[in-house]
Amino acid sequence: MNNNIKKIIEKIKSLSLETINKNLLLIALISLVFRHGSFYNSSIPKPFEIFFVVLFILNGIYLIKNNKIKDFFLSVPKKILIAIGCLFFSIFIGWAVAILFMGMATTIHTFLEFGAFSIGITMFFLVSFYAKNDQNYGKKYFYALLLPIFYIIFILYRGTIAGLDSNSLLTFMLNPNVLYKILLIPTFFFISKLLCELKNKWMTIGYIIISSLLVAVIFLTASRGGIVSLFSGAIFIWLVFSVHQFNWKKFFLGGIVVLAILSFGFLMIPNLSKEAIFNKIFYTASIFNDNKIPTITFNTLNNNNNNKIPTITFNTLNNNNNKKISTITVTTLTQNLPPEARFIEWPIFFKYVLVHPFGVGPNSHADFNIVDKNGVHLEFGPNNTYLLIWLWGGLLGIGSFLYIIWSVFKMLWIKLKNNFNSKSLALLSILFALSISITFDASLSFYWFFIILALSLRE
């Protein structure tokens, strides 16, 4: 027993700092899959935050000791590196403008929200650096993101996830808006494997079952963003698969397979969840006909610290039954639903970013005083990552962010054309689906997106 312990200790001692960092990054990714909450809205550190801090320190020591700081940053193409620099520069400019000229206060929330975004960019560099030096670890990092496949056990265990009630184990892990996003990764991986291996009958059956179960879990979240991202990604992967060595048999066969997976997944969920999905789809269509989007005016208001902060006042809104409501909420499975919040939030923040071309930095919606007509404070935000980046960094910020996504997408597309394989097809469709999903959430702390960007770049 003592000899075995000694061998383990000796083996640990023989590990290089680079190897330790590679494995620690892998452990961090695995812990991230089962992470609950966000970095900036909880004072209790999660395992991922602990692993990240240790990894950040050890990686810094490794880079300095081995004179690899330049290699670390040049692990991404120079144009993307410049775009990332422009993105951070735009945020700092917006931050300075907000403090010096708009009198907006900088709170602890400001630093935490910016810190969460910085962690995402750091993960992008870490994965790019270590996956570039070792392709095997690149594969391990990708496979670690497939672990949410185990969430399918909750279909068999509970039969419903919509709302994630307090008795659900998933409530402890993730909320629906995060859950459906990370489930998109294994879902499109297995769909791509299925499309590329249709000739293998038994593998095809297995991939159909797994893909359908994952689709069912996404449906169970009853998330509008999940539904849109899933269908958009499904159409995209079908078209990309069909375009490669196109023929009509392949086109229709791929379409039938993808439609079957979506249909099987939908049929697996209980009627209560089906009702929630129909409410999401058909209720949204009636918003523009039956409800008035409020007219917004921007003023300034002095808070207790005599700092000016934007004030937005809502006019009266009418729901489908012409009953006045003073607060804006999003609910499901209830009658007399209030307006879908995003269709009110997006016009507000779009108008706001247009009058602030330099942005306002991380002094974002948390520092806004948003009230209804009775002066009641409302929790409100852009609920859109692109709008949030635009809000933070102005035109330069959103331009840089879109360029980064487009560049990685373009590189992956070229790689797929030169060497068509299931992994590249999966990454391309995942990147597309996640780019759609972050439209429905302010997802700067959704680290999976930055990791997929890095893995796509390395592919």
Q: Within 161-247, where are the H helices?
A: 169-173, 176-196, 201-220, 224-243
> For residues 278 and 371, which has the higher predicted lDDT (pLDDT)?
278
DSSP category for residue 371: E
Q: How far apart are CA 176 and CA 184, in angstroms?
A: 12
pLDDT at 167 over 60: no
Does any domain span residue 321? no
Q: How far apart are CA 432 and CA 409, in angstroms?
A: 8
Does any domain span residue 346? no
Does any domain span residue 345? no
- The pLDDT of 77-96, averaged and rounded, is 94
Scanning the structure block, which residue is given the tokens 């680290």? 447
Ranges 55-69, 322-336, 422-436: which has the least confidence: 322-336
- Both tokens of residue 375? 């002066």
With a threshold of 0.85, does the pTM exceed it? no
Q: How far apart are CA 186 and CA 192, in angstroms?
A: 10
Question: What pLDDT is attached to residue 189?
Answer: 95
Does any domain span residue 205? yes
- CB of 309 closer than 8 Å to CB of 300: yes
Does any domain span residue 286? no
> For residues 39 and 10, which has the higher predicted lDDT (pLDDT)?
10
Question: What pLDDT is attached to residue 292?
Answer: 44
Express each pLDDT in 279-316 by its tens digit.
Answer: 776 655 444 444 444 444 444 433 444 444 455 554 43
- CB of 230 closer than 8 Å to CB of 269: no
Question: What pLDDT is attached to residue 369?
Answer: 59
Q: Domain range for residue 74?
A: 16-280+386-458
308 SS3 class:
strand
Q: How many CB atoms lie within 10 A of CB 334?
A: 8
pLDDT at 74 over 80: yes
Question: What pLDDT is attached to residue 191?
Answer: 94
Main-chain dihedrals φ then ψ at residue 209, nearest 5 degrees: -65, -50
Half-sphere exposure of 134 (CA within 13 A, CB side): 15
Express each pLDDT in 15-40 by its tens digit.
Answer: 788 888 899 999 999 888 766 544 44
CB neighbour list of residue 412: distance below 8 Å, 6 or more residues apart:
424, 427, 428, 431, 456, 457, 459
Q: Count structural domains, the chain.
A: 1
Question: What pLDDT is attached to residue 362?
Answer: 86
pLDDT at 429 over 50: yes
Main-chain dihedrals φ then ψ at residue 310, nearest 5 degrees: -65, 140
Question: What pLDDT is attached to residue 36?
Answer: 55
Question: What pLDDT is attached to residue 11?
Answer: 60
User: Angle at CA 53, nearest 5°, toward 47 and 58?
Assistant: 125
Does any domain span residue 84? yes
- CB of 63 closer than 8 Å to CB of 72: yes
Does any domain span residue 372? no
Does any domain span residue 370? no
